Structure 1
Amino acid sequence: MTRYLLLFVVTLLGEALAVSADEVTYERDVLGFLTRYCFDCHGDGANEGNVDIGTFLQRGEFRQDTPFWDKLLRNIRADVMPPADAEQPSKEEVARFANWIKSDVFRIDESNHDPGPALIRRINRNEYQNTIRDLMGYDFQADELFPADDTGYGFDNNAAALNVSQILIEKYLKAAEEIVAATVPMVSRTVKRVRISGKELDHLTLPSTTKGAESEVSEEEPSQDRGRTDRLDFKNAARVGTTFEVAKSGHYKLDLSFWVRGHFFFDPGRTELVIRFDGEEIHRQKFVWEERVEYPFQFDYELEPGDYDFEIQMTPLPDAKDAAPREREAELYIQVDHVTLEGPRAVDDWVPPENYERYFDRSSPPTDPQEREDYASEILGRFAGKAFRRPVDQRTVDGLVAIAADTYSQPAHTFEEGISRAMVAILASPRFLYLTEQVQQPESSNDESASTSGISISAPVDEYTLASRLSYFLWSTMPDEELLAHASEGRLRDNLDTQVERMLRDRRSRHFLSNFVGQWLRSREIENLMLDPRAIADGDKSAEQLAEEQRQHEQRGRRFRGFPGFRRPPFRFNAEIQRAMQQETELCFGYIMEQDRSVLELIDADYTFLNEDLAEHYGIEGVSGDEMRRVELPEDSPRGGVLTQGTLLTVTSNPNRTSPVKRGLYVLENILGTPPSAPPPDVPELEESKDRFDGRTPTLREVLAAHRENAVCMSCHGRMDPLGFALENFNALGVWRDRDGGQPIDASGELLSGETFQDIRGLKRILRETKQAEFYRCLTEKLLIYAMGRGIDVKDTATIDGLVDRLLASEGRFSVLLNGILHSPQFQRRRLPLTDAERLSALGER
């Protein structure tokens, strides 16, 4: 009865008001829409999913329930409702319905932008490390001191998740002291030190004695290990080194440090390491697995002017006869930290310490007290301005000078020591640890955005804030000198597009790929993934195949008495393949970004990025070498797009088998942007559904079908399961298979919106051709969350809708999305702290 009364009211109101076609009204475009398309399931006594829209609309304050309207709009846009077999609204009807929600419920006023919540966030662990590197030139290992950051809305730069505890504050102070001690000189002159990090060593040719008697290659062949010079694998022969140039005769000290690092799992590998200096062997030692042990060495020499060669040579040794078997390919390597040559040690030969010119622009501090104070003010004002990412006021500088003077004015303490104490205070300051923001002052603003009440809800951020937003979005680090120079001159906003192009060409933009892509598409998770290749390989086989393999295994054991027999080789899945999978995902996104291609190529493409190991893992021929490169896929290949990349396929699997539920959930959350609600507490376990098959072992598809017979389970699994089953031809290691447990795989399915497919190729076609808007919206929201460091707010809806429309018009070009976010009110403006009365006045009474 309620439904028919509402329809009658809508008809009468529509005739009485005679609204124009362009005017959006509640009676026609909302009440009429809901009555026609939603009340069959959610009104007139029906309340599927415990949602009764008819009763909801009778509440006096139904417009104030923004979460309800937000969820309702998302479900309608995602074709979750109305059901596929019911009458469907037109695009125009959905647009008018959405416009009413944005204006009357979300209170979005295009003439008075509200950019959403104004938050101040802490820089996360990764950003801290990058910022210290760019500010101090020091490679601080933040993950060794700071705990992992919590995540919010899928990212670890979310302000709401970046809490600070007393323990973390103490760690920040400890880190500041360590960093300053390692980088800021404490004296004006010292013994000359030439320090070469492990990464700066060169690959050298190997002597023929390390290659085996049967080797026919020339003695000029380079080191077999051509990877990182600071990470020498036990199983590869390697020779790395450098040359020191000695200008003066005298006493010198050679200092060397390296670590033996073994993976969590034991590896029986052995190696012999030889250290040589000036052609002479100075140390030889054999090494075996150790989890993390440092080996420091020091040698003293009297040297004459000339060049002196230093080298480290590694030769792999056979495993010990009584060594435990290698259960899996664990990592075992020597990590070279540094090699340093100090001298001459005579006082007359001392020089300014390393990094002295970075912080001090005079060869020695003044002796006059006032000149010292002025010099300290100059140094600390400049350093604090870089660290705080904006100019500092004189009161702050004076406070820092007081800290410095308190130390350097004491006997036996140097001027440099005092400066270092003040720098510790800077690095422990909230103004360094937090991205503080300011708005542009009214007198310098040409902002014309204001409501008819004359009260602006927001204001443009100042140019220093804009510089920090840009750099931490695209680089995950502090603004460089060029960004800050543009900000100081008030020219950054006018030259934004040019600066963005420059920043994307810069090597620091790789952090955008590893941090945004790595978290959105979860490729970062593959580094710590624990899978059981043997169990996964066995899971693809039938019971008969496994029995036959076991029989052959035992037969070999009897043939070779005392020998346990050959183990069935699992799929090769090691750290190198895991890194290649991560790189594949990030390189694909980077290629789209750099070439300004359509983001739809993330759904499906005729190319991917592979090296020899990953191509072999995927079963793709014609790729050789360790370097990742763009590879055209065969015409009939199921690969192409993130759905068929090893990152998704492995991180969404269980340790020993695939999980269609996890894979389907991944697609809903990260591709379509429509994650299901959390399961209710009383939902039955999936294992309970196996009991319905009278002792027969059912397939996973049968178990999930039985699970979906429960209406509570169907609401989520009806959306997840078809998406996950489309990926069942890929096992838990991302390898193609035709059978699971010896049974043929059925990868077909039907989406709740009615589309059907036979395999992953068909699903990708549906997603690319009919779900463009959903994917664009999902990607836009993910990128906006990452750019702003906060979750999506209803005030963002109009901006997101506009960006989706622009992506549809441009066929998904990445630059349209990126530039749209950078020029959006959310990125360019900041909500003002208005009183409740001012905010109501600005919004206007409705």
Structure 2
Amino acid sequence: MTNPSSFFALVFAVCFAATTQADEPTSAFLQNHCIRCHGNAKQKADRRFDTLPMQIKELDDLERYQEIVDQLNLQSMPPEGEPQPTAEERAKAIADLTRQIASARTELASGGRHTVMRRLNRFEYQQTIGDLLSLNVQAWNPAADFPPDVKVQGFDNNGRELVTSGMLLDHYLGAAEKAVTRATQFGPRPESKQYAQQTPYYFDGKNKANLPKLFQVDRFRFIPDTPYTDMYGRHYRGGHIGFRPLYGGVAHSGMYTIRVKAAAIDRDHPYGNALDDFRNGDPLVLEVATVDREGSVESTGSITTERSEGLAELTSEEPAWFEWTIHIDQGFEPEVRFRNGTTATKRLVRIISSKASEHPEIAPFANMKGGMEKSHGLLKVYRGPKLRIFDIRVEGPHIDQWPPAGHTLMYGDLQSDDLNRSTITERLRAFAAGAFRRPLNSGELKPIERMVMGKLDGGMEPLAALQLGFQTILCSPSFIYMQEGEGTLDGYNLASRLSYFLWSSQPDVVLLQHAKAERLSDANVLAAEVDRMLKDPRSERFVNQFVRRWLDWDNIGEMPVSGEFRVYYRDNLETAMAGETTTLFRHILDQNLPPKRFLDADYTFVNRELAAHYGLPAIEGNQLRQVSTEGTVRGGLMTHGSFLTASANGVDTSPVVRGIYALEKVMGYTPPPPPDDVPEIEPDIRGALTVREELAKHRSIATCAECHRKIDPLGFALENFDPIGAWRTEYGKKLPVDASGQLPSGKKFDDIRQLRTLLIERHESFTRSLTEKLMTYALGRELEIGDRPSVDEILAELNNKEGGLRDLIRLVVLSKPFLNN
């Protein structure tokens, strides 16, 4: 969108051009509401429009005409303070201008309406390697070290920006080598074994030789006299228990079952607010993690990489078994942790030492010199929350297929001794057909075959030469890029476009069979495939990735929140916040509910911590479940913690930042950047009055007024939510929050609930915005003015059939832009 002055120029250019052909009422409308300020006698913002061309001759003109009609539809024009048309007059002017736009479209052709040869982005590369070679790429991400992809309008799959650099090529080579090595499994089927360890989990004397500190007795870890070991804080000292039978990591990657026998002790404690980072009475959260101990940081148990694999909430002092089946990568080993214990055991000892006068059991240790005797004694008499671990057992790996499918794709049923010039050529071609997601073109593999044969002639071992060929295939343009050409997509290209839209990965066997039989040109077959693919577990990638890109979640859980919001990390709130929104998206998709449900839902999906954060009635458990929000301030996407956190910076809030975010994500409108000579608005850290006064000054500047008229109301409506989405009625200095505002249409509201009602009345704007976002994501390019008729057709069809989100996705796939390039 242009800046406000340019936008006024566009409006009046349209007004003047239209007067030569429009009927009498429309000409009067334009004269009454446009020319007075930008004609011969007056040129507001140094703009004069009575001498502008009177015909739409360029695509740029067409695009700007359409923006003008959109603004009239949104009732953002004419500006506040100018004579306002009646609803009938506005509708007539919009209809006339729309007819001119439709006529111009038939005379102008959009020259760039296709997706350029697009390489896979990091996420797509990761998933494709995983699906092609049957590798668990959550445990090992082949794209972890790739440079970040450029984002356009929040999306990181825009073909024009997905360039390839020399550094990226180096990463491709390294990732391909590791992927081929990981997928190669010539050895015998790994034997599933059982491992067990009962208390104690710490060691001293000769037993601790060569073990990381995690396993060793120190001031905050001791060998108990009981048949269990207690954990006290969430920091590693006294908060992490290692598993000695698998110290050094598992020998084979695969699925393992981990069972832990544990109990929650003293959830209700006598220390009051002293343990300010543990809420009295809360369940205790047991976490299972896997770690790689190749590192050298002794303070963290020599951990290089760690992954959280599962959580369980414990409320009973009676021991019970908890079980997870998870993937453990070769070289990784399990740990058990106290996820929501007090900050650190060291801090805990210091706190309870200071409470000796209030708690007789502590008194004998209060004046004792610091050391093991004091620390161990205090911990043994400590009556606060303890996670009690009795037994840990691990079984695996569980193998369903041997050798794995990725190995079979590369080597078939050959052994390494069976490799020769003939079998190597055969395996290269079979692998390339899978990697390229289509049948091979005649002779296209010959350069790679010649290279491999040259290596054989030079004395390279057959297996090494073949693997080098596989690696080269994984670095070739036919694997890294989606080469869709121009015009109607053929079956294989359409299969790939569909699979990367809904699965972020390569087509499966069913899609490729349809492509081979040329059935994907049948709209019924294509629609059925959309339904099938959305039911497949791989569609979770679409849900998570699309929502992440749509709402710009890259900073959630990573931004440095202020100290007062440490609960954000302690309680894993960032994960629950993201889960709330993706679960709502999944729910609307599975139930095929109308897109407006994102605005008017009177329910949401929360777990215990998120419900407490929102002030909703208490629920138990770490799993998200549907709860009613009727009668509360919560309801719809804009009150989700993810939405509110992504539109803040973790420390304070800004009505301008949140207003722009809401405009872009909900209404599909991106305001232009402010002029260079206008100072930024500071976050509202001094109170609502001050920031409102600053914004009022901005609105007095002609070049700022129009944008702030759209931005400010949405931003102020969200000021009742703090930087991580909790409800507030005042700022830190006891200044009341004023969440009232007025939309450009003139409608006023007092708070987010009334604004929500007004936005629901205009839900068509949200549905259009969501449709455009889905198409942008599906096509891998920005939408252009020539795509507008297709978007209109989709929305008309969706409205006619009163369709839902699944219908919308199906219509996107059946649209002309999706079927053509």
The normalised TM-score by structure 2 is 0.71
1:606 matched residue in structure 2: 602
1:485 matched residue in structure 2: 513
User: Does the 8 A contact of 2:652 with 2:723 survive in 1?
Assistant: yes
1:733 matched residue in structure 2: 724
2:488 matched residue in structure 1: 460
Match of 1:362 among 413, 419, 425: 413
User: Does the 8 A contact of 2:250 with 2:333 survive in 1?
Assistant: no
Indicate how the Cα distance of structure 1 residues 63 and 39 shifts in structure 2: closer, same or farther if over 3 A, else same. Answer: farther
User: Does the 8 A contact of 1:600 with 1:812 survive in 2?
Assistant: no
User: Is residue 588 of structure 1 aligned with residue 579 of structure 2?
Assistant: no
What's the offset of the Cα at 1:610? 0.4
Indicate how the Cα distance of structure 1 residues 41 and 530 shifts in structure 2: closer, same or farther if over 3 A, else same. Answer: farther
2:676 is paired with a residue whose SS is coil
2:574 matched residue in structure 1: 578
Match of 1:751 among 743, 754, 768: 743
1:630 is paired with a residue whose SS is strand
**Within 5 A, what are the aligned runs for 1:49-198?**
51-57=47-53, 65-83=61-79, 86-88=84-86, 89-104=89-104, 107=107, 116-138=113-135, 139=137, 140-184=140-184, 190=187, 193=190
User: Does the 8 A contact of 1:526 with 1:578 survive in 2?
Assistant: yes
User: Does the 8 A contact of 2:473 with 2:479 survive in 1?
Assistant: yes
User: Is residue 794 of structure 1 aligned with residue 785 of structure 2?
Assistant: yes
2:215 matched residue in structure 1: none
2:260 matched residue in structure 1: none
Indicate how the Cα distance of structure 1 residues 421 and 798 shifts in structure 2: closer, same or farther if over 3 A, else same. Answer: same
Deviations 1:347-383 (A, max 9, x none): xxxx98996434222344787x9xx444333322221
Indicate how the Cα distance of structure 1 residues 206 and 509 shifts in structure 2: closer, same or farther if over 3 A, else same. Answer: farther
The code of the aligned residue for 2:85 comes to E
Q: Distance in 2 between matches of 1:381 and 1:7?
A: 62
**Within 5 A, what are the aligned runs for 1:336-735?**
356-364=407-415, 372-411=420-459, 413-414=461-462, 416-438=463-485, 459-494=487-522, 495-534=525-564, 573-574=569-570, 576-633=572-629, 635-686=630-681, 698-735=689-726
Q: Distance in 1 between matches of 2:427 and 2:771?
A: 43
User: Does the 8 A contact of 2:437 with 2:492 survive in 1?
Assistant: yes
User: Does the 8 A contact of 2:159 with 2:781 survive in 1?
Assistant: yes
What's the offset of the Cα at 1:432? 0.9
Deviations 1:465-524 (A, max 9, x none): 100110111111111111111101111232111111111011111111221111112234
Indicate how the Cα distance of structure 1 residues 232 and 161 shifts in structure 2: closer, same or farther if over 3 A, else same. Answer: farther
Deviations 1:662-716 (A, max 9, x none): 11111111111122111111113436999xxxx9995332332233232332222
User: Does the 8 A contact of 2:640 with 2:725 survive in 1?
Assistant: yes
Q: Distance in 1 between matches of 2:155 and 2:683?
A: 35
What's the offset of the Cα at 1:599? 1.0
2:373 matched residue in structure 1: none
1:378 is paired with a residue whose SS is helix
Which sections of structure 2, spanning at least 5 residues, go unmatched? 1-10, 203-219, 221-225, 255-276, 278-286, 290-295, 307-331, 352-391
The code of the aligned residue for 1:146 comes to F
Indicate how the Cα distance of structure 1 residues 356 and 239 shifts in structure 2: closer, same or farther if over 3 A, else same. Answer: same
**Within 5 A, what are the aligned runs for 1:767-786?**
767-769=759-761, 771-786=762-777
Deviations 1:741-774 (A, max 9, x none): 31222211111111111111111111111x2222
The code of the aligned residue for 2:724 comes to L
The code of the aligned residue for 2:544 comes to S
Indicate how the Cα distance of structure 1 residues 151 and 352 shifts in structure 2: closer, same or farther if over 3 A, else same. Answer: closer
Indicate how the Cα distance of structure 1 residues 9 and 645 shifts in structure 2: closer, same or farther if over 3 A, else same. Answer: closer
Q: Distance in 1 between matches of 2:197 and 2:298?
A: 22
Q: Distance in 2 between matches of 1:780 and 1:613?
A: 33
What's the offset of the Cα at 1:165? 1.6
Indicate how the Cα distance of structure 1 residues 123 and 706 shifts in structure 2: closer, same or farther if over 3 A, else same. Answer: same
Indicate how the Cα distance of structure 1 residues 683 and 640 shifts in structure 2: closer, same or farther if over 3 A, else same. Answer: same
Q: Distance in 2 between matches of 1:392 and 1:520?
A: 36
The code of the aligned residue for 2:410 comes to Y
Indicate how the Cα distance of structure 1 residues 468 and 775 shifts in structure 2: closer, same or farther if over 3 A, else same. Answer: same
Q: Distance in 2 between matches of 1:353 and 1:514?
A: 27
Q: Distance in 2 between matches of 1:40 and 1:222?
A: 83
Deviations 1:54-109 (A, max 9, x none): 33235895786334324323322322212365114443541341232133157468
User: Does the 8 A contact of 2:105 with 2:786 survive in 1?
Assistant: no
Q: Distance in 2 between matches of 1:389 and 1:8?
A: 53
The code of the aligned residue for 1:783 comes to L
Indicate how the Cα distance of structure 1 residues 38 and 209 shifts in structure 2: closer, same or farther if over 3 A, else same. Answer: same
**Within 5 A, what are the aligned runs for 1:281-296?**
288-289=299-300, 292-293=303-304
The code of the aligned residue for 2:603 comes to Y
User: Does the 8 A contact of 2:560 with 2:650 survive in 1?
Assistant: yes
User: Does the 8 A contact of 1:581 with 1:614 survive in 2?
Assistant: yes
Q: Distance in 2 between matches of 1:581 and 1:795?
A: 37
User: Does the 8 A contact of 2:606 with 2:624 survive in 1?
Assistant: yes
Indicate how the Cα distance of structure 1 residues 616 and 60 shifts in structure 2: closer, same or farther if over 3 A, else same. Answer: closer
The normalised TM-score by structure 1 is 0.69
The code of the aligned residue for 1:805 comes to A
1:656 is paired with a residue whose SS is coil
User: Does the 8 A contact of 2:16 with 2:54 survive in 1?
Assistant: no
User: Does the 8 A contact of 2:132 with 2:435 survive in 1?
Assistant: yes
Indicate how the Cα distance of structure 1 residues 396 and 41 shifts in structure 2: closer, same or farther if over 3 A, else same. Answer: same
Q: Distance in 2 between matches of 1:816 and 1:123?
A: 27
What's the offset of the Cα at 1:624? 0.9
2:700 is paired with a residue whose SS is coil
1:783 is paired with a residue whose SS is helix
1:631 is paired with a residue whose SS is strand
User: Does the 8 A contact of 1:7 with 1:32 survive in 2?
Assistant: no
The code of the aligned residue for 1:55 comes to T
Which sections of structure 1, spanning at least 5 residues, go unmatched? 14-24, 213-217, 226-230, 244-252, 259-267, 276-284, 296-309, 326-335, 342-350, 440-458, 537-569, 831-846
Q: Distance in 1 between matches of 2:73 and 2:796?
A: 13
1:675 is paired with a residue whose SS is coil
Deviations 1:412-459 (A, max 9, x none): 613x322211111111101111101146xxxxxxxxxxxxxxxxxxx4
Deviations 1:382-430 (A, max 9, x none): 211111111112302333333332334554613x322211111111101
**Within 5 A, what are the aligned runs for 1:220-239?**
none
Deviations 1:241-292 (A, max 9, x none): 999xxxxxxxxx974999xxxxxxxxx9xxxx999xxxxxxxxx99633795
1:507 is paired with a residue whose SS is coil
2:754 matched residue in structure 1: 762
